[in-house]
Amino acid sequence: MKKRKLLLAAAAFSVFLVGGCQSHGEEAQPIKAMYIEKGEDFQIFVDTSTGVLFDASIPEGTEELTTGDLVEIYGDGIMLESYPGQYPGVSRIVVTKQGSEEDAKQYESLVDEVYQEPDPSEPPYLNLEYRTKEALVSAVADRGSYTWRYTDEHGEEKEIVADGAFILESNVFNDIRLKEKTDVLLYFSERPEKVSVLRYDPVPAKQETEASEEKETTETEENHETEEQGETVEVSEEKDDKGKKQFILKDLSGKGIYLVKAEFSQGTVEYGFEVK
């Protein structure tokens, strides 16, 4: 499911079994849950027997879900211990009863604990999502420079220009650790119109120190030249099970520092992360 506004921990998640044990290839006992949407870009499930929130992948061909629908979720029974929990191994979802907004109100306070009303002045964040043999991993990319236009509560048009340091001048990055070629999904909290990615070799510690101490008047020109030296990384565009466009770095494995540039109708935002 790639529609939620959830900020998940930047680490591998431990797992636990739901619905009892089952043989390889067999489905676990289904989870009885309610489906809830909120705002324009948030969806979640609530286990109706425990009152626990969790995120779940929605298989292609699933009946269109609306807020308040009661469902049975079948899968491998492995729930990732993030918060909210994640159930990536879903094989099918069956609607047992159609619901309404009124039905979902009983869980309103619970959902409000994880739902964040979007701030129009705040540029979107970027999560990196990928799967290992052990777990589904989510990491948050660092946000850098951006130009962002928005309308405030008084209906006035505003623009924010934030000029941060060039990506190679930053001393700390959130990182992901890949043991083999892996598809990495670039999950933006708001879908961009265009995405481009450049990779740079890691900067040795000594060079980082020297760079941080240098203050040149031609800094902008030098940054532009350095940016052009980056290696272009292909970004694949695919559609998820809801027909929404998503951006994926296929077979990513190269160690280095990555600069992601995303273009939105409201402006352009840069993000950075490191692969180790």
Tens digits of residue pLDDT in 110-121: 998 888 777 889
Q: How many CA atoms are closer than 13 Å to the CA of 162, on its beta-carbon side? A: 16
- Is residue 269 a contact partner of residue 208, using CB atoms and an 8 Å limit? no
Q: Quote the pLDDT of residue 44.
A: 94
Amino acid of residue 49: S
pLDDT digits over 165-186, tens only?
Answer: 777 777 667 888 888 999 999 9
Whole-number Cα distances in Å, 74 to 32, 85, 87, 160: 9, 16, 10, 46
Q: Ranked by mean pLDDT, which of 10-14, 159-163, 168-172 comes out on top? A: 159-163
Q: List Cβ neighbours of 23 (8 Å cut-off, separation of 6 or more).
A: none
Question: On the CB side of 259, how many CA atoms lie within 13 Å of its CA?
Answer: 26
CA dist., res. 235 & res. 122, Å (int)? 25
Q: What average pLDDT score do residues 129-140 get?
A: 80
Spatial separation of the C-alpha atoms in residues 111 and 4, rounded to whole Å: 12
Q: How far apart are CA 190 and CA 169, in angstroms?
A: 27
**Alpha carbon distances (Å) from 10 to 125, 130, 194, 207:** 13, 11, 25, 27
pLDDT at 241: 59
pTM score over 0.85: no
Which range has the top average pLDDT, 128-137, 248-257, 260-269? 260-269
